[in-house]
Amino acid sequence: MTALLISRRNFIKVSASAAALLSIPRLGFGQTTRIRMEWQQFKTTPQYTSFLNAVRTMKANTNSSSPSSWAYWTNVHVNYCPHGVAYFLAWHRGYLYYFEQQLRTVSGDSSLTLPYWNYYKYPTIPAEFTDPANKPLYVQRAGTNVYNALTLAPFASSVWNFQRGTTNAYEPQFESAPHNPVHNLIGNVMATMQSPNDPIFYLHHANVDRLWHAWALPDGKGMPYTSNPYNSANSSSYWAGSFKYSSTLSIARYKNYYPGWLGYDYADDNKPTSLPPSAQANPDSPIKLVQAQVAPVLTRPASGNFPATAARAISATSQSLGGVSGVTLAEASVSAHLPLTGSALQLLQTAVSVAVSPPAQLAAGTVQSVRLVLDNLQLLGAGANGGFFYNIYLNLPPTGDAGNAQRYFLGTVGPFEIAGASHHGTATLTVPATEVLSRLSASELQDVTVSFVRVGGDNPARGAVIRMGEVRIEVSTEQPWDSSPPPPRLPGQCYC
């Protein structure tokens, strides 16, 4: 399958001349709303046969420049998808919209909708995808159970804003977990940017889209407002511009604001309020409850002996306060104590103080945000196959009960995050840390320790799996977030 992938330059060239692309229906508002069903319901309907036929036909088409081929849509994802940056959710909403239309075209079934996999209810991949005899849906995977990827944190009442650059924001929290860990625990091709080669990708992202919609109900919370699909003049500038999927296929951003504007909804629009019983996944599985995501108890793993790296200027706006090098991750969780000097700690405290209580006038060059940088990331040995990831914490208590571990949670790192970080250049993962640091006491800010807590699925990779050239803390003169509330919603700007 990988051999069918083509470069972005060639992809743009051949897709522009693909006559089949012109057969994809364009946006038509006011159409009948289609309902996307959960897989367990979907497979009992005639749509299941249409779906199998479409997947089988598209996989058999070896012309990767044809929208009727499976590889074409993998190329769209490889060449255009945003990960770890703004519009992660909205871009994928449009991607599923066009892919769903292509399924209808190939199958000849105009009623066909894309199903979703509700792993908050069924944490094991549906059996139809794990049966080797079911060729259209089966691929080899490192794991089939994603229970350990699940967290309710993005659905907490405090998560009211939406986009990156704001406090308590849904999109970055949800992408970090559960989205990325689901990719990691399934592993193999799902742990790469070529993840749409695995059919379960589309059910996963349909559920991602459903959960965003459920979180936003009933009023859109703090999402940048937009008006309606017939008049975007009063929309927030956040929704200006378009998403690109090929040289001839795009969608205006604001149209991806609400599923109904694209003609679909979900059979279940409710947020998850609890995790599924762990025994439901597989009572014989070696999976255990993950402290980081489930239990309230979490203490700091032992620190490794890593060489220190010096504080230095990174760019015109950012400065390293120091770090460590040569951090290798394996089965055991590990911490890295960052040896910040007195002056570096002072800069750290200044950045946090400015972020929490910005002065009326800020002197030029004042540091005001903090981030953790994992530089020169490398996958080792079986690490590329996935089946694991690491939760990243800052300043977990060295002993006792951490209480709410989410207070110290920065994000995740695994094969999928590394694939995304290296997608368009050097494998460097930058994780905003200002918000987490702002929750800590003055005494907790006297020391910086980063912990990598290993989380495995039902078949995790063994041995050394990730090497980080450097783990460092940076301060920046860039603003960490916009804490101001969005403008009041005007008539016609509702989430509806």
Q: Please state the rounded mean pLDDT for residues 479-493.
A: 65
Same domain, 62 and 154: yes
H-helix or E-strand containing 309? Answer: strand 308-309
For residue 266, the model assigns a pLDDT of: 98
**Residue 486 domain-assigned (yes or no):** no
CA dist., res. 457 & res. 285, Å (int): 9
Helices within 69-153 (DSSP H only): 70-80, 88-107, 127-130
More confident residue, 496 or 51: 51
* Residue 13 and residue 75 in one domain: yes
Asked whether residue 143 falls in the same domain as residue 205, the answer is yes
Highest mean pLDDT out of 95-104, 352-361, 404-413: 95-104
Is residue 270 over pLDDT 70? yes
Kind plus residue range of the DSSP H or E element containing 36: strand 34-36
More confident residue, 296 or 204: 204
226/267 same-domain check: yes
- Is residue 301 a part of any domain in this protein? no
**12-16, 31-35, 363-367: which is most confident:** 363-367
What tokens were used for 308? Answer: 């220190």
Supply angle C-alpha 406, 411, 414, rounded to 5.
135
Q: Where are the alpha helices (DSSP H) in 361-433?
A: 415-421
Residue 409 is part of a domain; what is its CATH number?
2.60.120
460 and 400 Cβ atoms separated by less than 8 Å = no
Helix ranges (DSSP H) in 17-121: 39-42, 47-60, 70-80, 88-107
Determine the average pLDDT of the residues in 178-189.
98
The residue segments making up the domain with residue 453 are: 308-356+365-476
Report the number of distinct structural domains present in the chain.
Answer: 2
pLDDT for the residue numbered 495:
80
Kindly tell me if the per-residue pLDDT of 362 is higher than 90.
no
Question: Would you say the C-alpha torsion 358, 361, 366, 372 has a positive or negative sign?
Answer: positive
Please tell me whether residues 265 and 316 are part of one structural domain.
no
Confidence of residue 287 (pLDDT cuts 50, 70, 90): very low
13 vs 450, higher pLDDT: 450
- For residues 269 and 349, state if they share a domain: no
The pLDDT tens digits for 46-89 are 999 999 999 999 999 999 999 999 999 999 999 999 999 999 99
> Taking 60 as the threshold, does the pLDDT of residue 351 lie above it?
yes
Lowest-pLDDT choice from 98-107, 153-162, 372-381, 473-482: 473-482
Q: What angle do CA 223, 174, 83 make, to 5 degrees?
A: 90
Higher-pLDDT residue of 22 and 233 is 233
> 154 and 276: one domain?
yes
Taking alpha carbons only, the member of 383, 480, 468, 401 closest to residue 428 is 468
Q: Do 371 and 264 sit in the same domain of this protein? A: no
In the predicted model, what is the mean pLDDT of the chain?
88
For residue 78, give the CATH number of its domain.
1.10.1280.10
**Beta bridge mates, 476:** 318, 369
* Mean pLDDT to the nearest integer, 378-405: 89
pLDDT of residue 68: 98
**CB 473, CB 338: distance < 8 Å:** yes
41 assigned to some structural domain: yes
Find the mean pLDDT for residues 262-273: 97
**How confident is residue 4, by pLDDT bands cut at 50, 70 and 90?**
very low
| Domain-located, residue 370 | yes
Residue 294 lies in a domain: no
In a domain, 292, yes or no: no
Decide if 52 is inside a domain. Answer: yes
Token duo for residue 269: 């629009």
Rounded distance between C-alpha atoms, residue 155 and residue 143, angstroms: 26
The whole-angstrom separation of Cα 145 and Cα 185 is 7
Q: Does residue 288 form part of some domain?
A: no
Rounded CA-CA distance 49/149 in Å is 30
pLDDT at 225: 87
Mean pLDDT to the nearest integer, 385-412: 90
266 shares a domain with 348: no
> Do residue 312 and residue 276 come from a single domain?
no
Residues 181 and 239 in one domain: yes
Shared domain check, 346 and 274: no
pLDDT attached to residue 28:
46
Q: How far apart are CA 433 and CA 426, in angstroms?
A: 21
Whether the pLDDT of residue 198 is over 80: the answer is: yes
In this predicted structure, what is the pLDDT of residue 265? 98
Res 24: pLDDT: 39
Burial of 31 (0-12, 13-18, 19+ CB in 10 A): exposed
pTM value?
Answer: 0.91
